[in-house]
Structure 1
Amino acid sequence: MRNWGVSPQRLVPPIQGTALVGWAGPLLVALFGGILRFVRLGEPKAVVFDETYYAKDAYSLLRHGVERTMLGDAKNPIADQRLIAGNLDIFKQCPQPSDCASFVAHPPLGKWMIGVGEWLFGLNPFGWRFAAALVGTLSILIMARVARRMTRSTLLGCLAGLLLALDGLHLVLSRTALLDIFLMFWVLAGFACVVADRDWARRRLVDWYASSPITGLGPRLGLRPWRVAAGLCLGAACAVKWSGVFFLIAFMAMTVLWDMGARRALGLREPYRGAWSYDVPGAFAAMAVVPAATFVATWTGWFVTAGGWGRNWEQATSSGPVFFVIDSVRSWLQYQWQVLGYHSGLDAYHQYMSEPWQWPLLLRQVSFYDSANLPPSACGADKCSQAVLGVGTPALWYGAALALIGLIAWYVATRDWRAGATLLGFAAGWLPWFYYAIADNRTMYLFYMIPVVPFMVLAVVLMAGLALGKEDAPPARRATGAAAVGAFALVVLINFWWLYPVLTAETITHAEWWARILLRSWVTAAPK
């Protein structure tokens, strides 16, 4: 019998409950969240906020493989009016495809995903919002499953999914054809794959330790499918918005540190050398090469057509296949450099812009839609309102702010990997924006926080796990913890229910709308 230096159960603790319950609970929570996201998805029947760019760019990708210039000015009001009227003639007429090339600031994957809904259901509000609602619902399922894996508790996993389903900002972005919900989805999926890879690798180490001759460096673990999947997902995140690269770098470093920790916990004589020799090369391939290939692949439409911005098709096709490849890559890199310059200089004033330090406390919301032309008969009062406020559920966000502070203390005291992973995910999605706020005075909005909302939920759930205590904790402690956690979830539910009409464009009286404005700064213009 092998003399274990560490218990196998400590390296890979068992998950409570059966696999059936572990899937049934999260699926039910995701179904609840999906109902909230799909019911009345076509309302308002309007082009909401930046849908004016992405819904039409997605349609252009379906038609032409690249984004093309639309009718109208920068916000395309003529094309907006034609879309709502059902007229799909929204493109400018150009003698040559390159004359209609449109400069776009974000990679194409998120718009391709929006385009799937338009292909299935047509170019209408339901069609261009379908993909957002679908990935928003799937993200609730992923949230529940990854929280279950991290806490080893199906109950806490379902709590995580429920809290994400009840977040107002997540709901609004799941019902709007913007890119940020797709960024959040791929980041969360990549994180879930990294966490699954952690378990997978540790099981392989345990199996090796139990049955193979011991070496100082430990074993080669071979192909790690979950880490390759993480690279694909995080490459997809970067292919939606460039800010996905912050998560990619953070999670790549995190998975290597986990490998070092696992080999050290197993009692190997040279754990760090073993990790550098056997794990780091694979991590680089899975978390650098695979994401880069994924990112480039999403630009296929630009590479194979003549109408993309800066494509220089005639020049590229003038001197044979080798020159075609070289010139195409050169033009594509120049385009990426132009996009970088655009983001670095984006400082135009917007009345709902905000700063990163304001986001966790919801000091500024974003008005996605506000109808000013409703007749009194619409709600039975002198003045009616139909609005979509892009704002998180305050009870959840303020609770998460406290939970993150508690998580810092917990990590400093125990070095618990779950606290560290959650804090790293939050930091990767929040702290980089401080640089842009200070160095570039960049125009930013609250909804840039959506990729870190899952990590805020994880912080709450991990603190809830501490409040509940272990299974062998005294019954009074368990009962008190359960009451506190249940009360918090109920408060979040009530707060979400109260805000729901102004998250989904329900028709209410102006007085009812005003009662849901938590802070005056939600409706006053940002200072110039």
Structure 2
Amino acid sequence: MTETSVRPASRTWLVRPAGAFTAEAFRARLIGGIQSWRDYPPSLRLWFWLTPVITTAIAGILRFVRLGTPQSLVFDETYYVKDAYSYLLSGYERNWPEKANDSFKAGHPVLPLDTAEYVVHPPLGKWMIAWGMALFGPESSFGWRFAAALTGTLSVFLVTLIALKLFRSHVLGGVAGLLLAIDGHHLVMSRTAILDIFLMFWVLAAFGALLMDRDDGRRRLAARLAALYRNGSPPATALVAGPFLGMRWWRLVAGVCLGLAVGVKWSALAFVAVFGLLTVFWDMNARRIAGIRSWGSAAVLKDGVPAFLTMIPTAALVYLATWTGWLQSTGAYFRGWAEKQPASGWDWIPAPLRSLAHYHLEAYKFHQGLGSDHPYESSPWSWLVMGRPTSFFYESPKQGTAGCELPSCTTAVLSVGNPVIWWGATIALAALLFWWIGRRDWRAGAILAGVAAGYLPWFMYPERTMFFFYALSFEPFLILAQTYCLGRILGKPGDPQWRRLSGLYLVALILVLAVLVSAYFYPVWTAETIGYQDWRMRMWMPSWI
């Protein structure tokens, strides 16, 4: 049926076939056929939840088995575990006596000193570690790492659901969850009580919330546009800018998650900026597809401003709430700074907040000048190819001790990823650039945005000491990038049978290879005692030693 035109009193309107302006028609144009798990056939609805449950179970087994090994504090656990214990005792960080690490290793932690310690990271990640210690006791290495292992396991659940949302495929959802579950870098960070696993989790949760908001916003836009057409042609001004979409609750959830991410590490601020722009660009494109004439300016005014007012104040308040222990204390570092300063024009701000602002300024100066040499420092240029992974733990047990039956043994924890996954994801990023720029695929752009937010800001500080495990914040997006390309290899339902079969065999081969490589590297991810030569055979690059 062709479109015809009728001329009302003041304007010519384009009249489309019957049903073209219903809410269902707009939703199909803006979102597509599958909008939630209810839109799957009944036979597949169970798999919508069973797939993430299976991948999460695999992740949990890999992360919780032998979680307490090694018993000693490894790498930066020497800071964060002791800080977490201080939180349980006083709500803020305190200094420790000499050889405090030995007391933790022996299972009888000493008490911290009465003096406050100066730290440069926000409190939330340490509070999350403290939660595990409160459950299982500060003397238990399992308790130190429980929160990290649980958070890492739940992140696999989130990645599986996010992949289902992005690709609308149970197979690709399972692929994404499996790849993250078996990757060594994510596995090591999930078994170590340091901050980056918590940062990654809250960033990932914020991204998932914004994906939910994307569909929710488009459903609202479809319903409001359909309502305008319900009683005939809408007013001309209604189609110039389009309707307001009301309160976006998933954006509020994203704001909470981003505030929690910043409450773990300040590097999450880049995600706040990128994700904020991303959600507005999605709304801008939705208004364009819906036929709104001034879609750009309308998205800025009717979507961008509300998005800012929803997400940024929420994130700021949540971030401030993570400092509750510090604010309620009297002995924390810099806690009484404001009271000791002469009168100024800022006295109208409560003294605790002025002291907190001073704390942030000093911490920022510290980060700017952090450039000391470290044997495992790593340039961001080498992260994607794992040029210099971080050694968290290394021991050489003697024959007859600690399970060593050979003349020379090694027990190690190396935060190296699965080469099949990481090197494959690096190649996938180039393919995503093509699909985003050449084919305007929003999914490719969303994944690239997550990688850019977590990766590119580090190039702004070339003099700062950095480590490979900082890449954990954007690793889930690398997994999604590889999953995206594997989906392209699988092809579409309408492709010839030979194309589908060849794609299926190739993807299966890649997954089997990734599983086998993970099994091979598992001993150097989990501190298993193996022969020294076996350890050397797993050091595929000289820079890994």
TM range (shorter): over 0.9
Alignment of 1:244-259 (within 5 A): 244-259=268-283
- Provide the C-alpha distance between the structure 1 equivalents of 2:174 and 2:215, rounded to a whole number of angstroms: 20
1:375 CA displacement: 3.5
**Consecutive unaligned residues in structure 1, runs of 5 or more:** 73-77, 95-99, 524-528
CA root-mean-square deviation: 1.9
State the Cα deviation string for residues 71-97 of structure 1 (Å, max 9, x = none).
12xxxxx111111222232312x4xxx
Give the TM-score normalised by structure 1: 0.93
Match 2:55 to one of 1, 10, 29: 29
Amino acid at match of 2:514: V
Amino acid at match of 1:88: P
- Provide the C-alpha distance between the structure 2 equivalents of 1:389 and 1:10, rounded to a whole number of angstroms: 48
Alignment of 1:225-374 (within 5 A): 225-312=249-336, 315=339, 326-374=350-398
Give the TM-score normalised by structure 2: 0.90
Equivalent in the alignment of 1:516: 538
Q: Structure 1 residues 316, 471: closer, same or farther in 2, change over 3 A?
A: farther
1:179 CA displacement: 0.2
Alignment of 1:397-436 (within 5 A): 397-436=422-461
- Provide the C-alpha distance between the structure 2 equivalents of 1:13 and 1:307, rounded to a whole number of angstroms: 57
Amino acid at match of 1:82: S
Equivalent in the alignment of 1:103: 118
1:272 CA displacement: 2.2
Equivalent in the alignment of 1:12: 31
Equivalent in the alignment of 2:69: 43
Structure exhibiting the larger radius of gyration computed from Cα positions: 2
Equivalent in the alignment of 2:216: 200
1:104 CA displacement: 0.6
1:118 CA displacement: 0.2
Match 1:81 to one of 91, 102, 113: 102
Alignment of 1:414-493 (within 5 A): 414-437=439-462, 441-493=463-515
- Provide the C-alpha distance between the structure 1 equivalents of 2:202 and 2:390, rounded to a whole number of angstroms: 23
2:154 aligned with 1:130 = no
- Provide the C-alpha distance between the structure 2 equivalents of 1:8 and 1:474, rounded to a whole number of angstroms: 30
Describe the SS at the equivalent of 2:383. Answer: helix
User: Does structure 2 retain, via aligned residues, the 8 Å contact 1:374–1:385?
Assistant: no
1:464 CA displacement: 1.2
- Provide the C-alpha distance between the structure 2 equivalents of 1:432 and 1:466, rounded to a whole number of angstroms: 30
Describe the SS at the equivalent of 1:44. Answer: coil
Alignment of 1:51-66 (within 5 A): 51-66=77-92
Describe the SS at the equivalent of 1:176. Answer: coil
Moved more, 333-342 or 463-472: 463-472
Describe the SS at the equivalent of 1:287. Answer: helix
- Provide the C-alpha distance between the structure 1 equivalents of 2:195 and 2:517, rounded to a whole number of angstroms: 26
User: Does structure 2 retain, via aligned residues, the 8 Å contact 1:316–1:327?
Assistant: no
State the Cα deviation string for residues 419-475 of structure 1 (Å, max 9, x = none).
0011111111111111111xxx11011001001111111111111111112222222
Equivalent in the alignment of 2:4: none
User: Does structure 1 retain, via aligned residues, the 8 Å contact 2:20–2:26?
Assistant: no
State the Cα deviation string for residues 206-253 of structure 1 (Å, max 9, x = none).
222223344122222111111111111111111100000011100000
**Consecutive unaligned residues in structure 2, runs of 5 or more:** 1-17, 35-39
Amino acid at match of 2:482: V
User: Does structure 1 retain, via aligned residues, the 8 Å contact 2:63–2:187?
Assistant: yes
Equivalent in the alignment of 2:5: none
Equivalent in the alignment of 1:156: 172
- Provide the C-alpha distance between the structure 1 equivalents of 2:413 and 2:185, rounded to a whole number of angstroms: 10
TM superposition outliers: structure 1 runs of 4+ over 4 Å: 4-7, 316-319, 322-325
Amino acid at match of 1:8: R
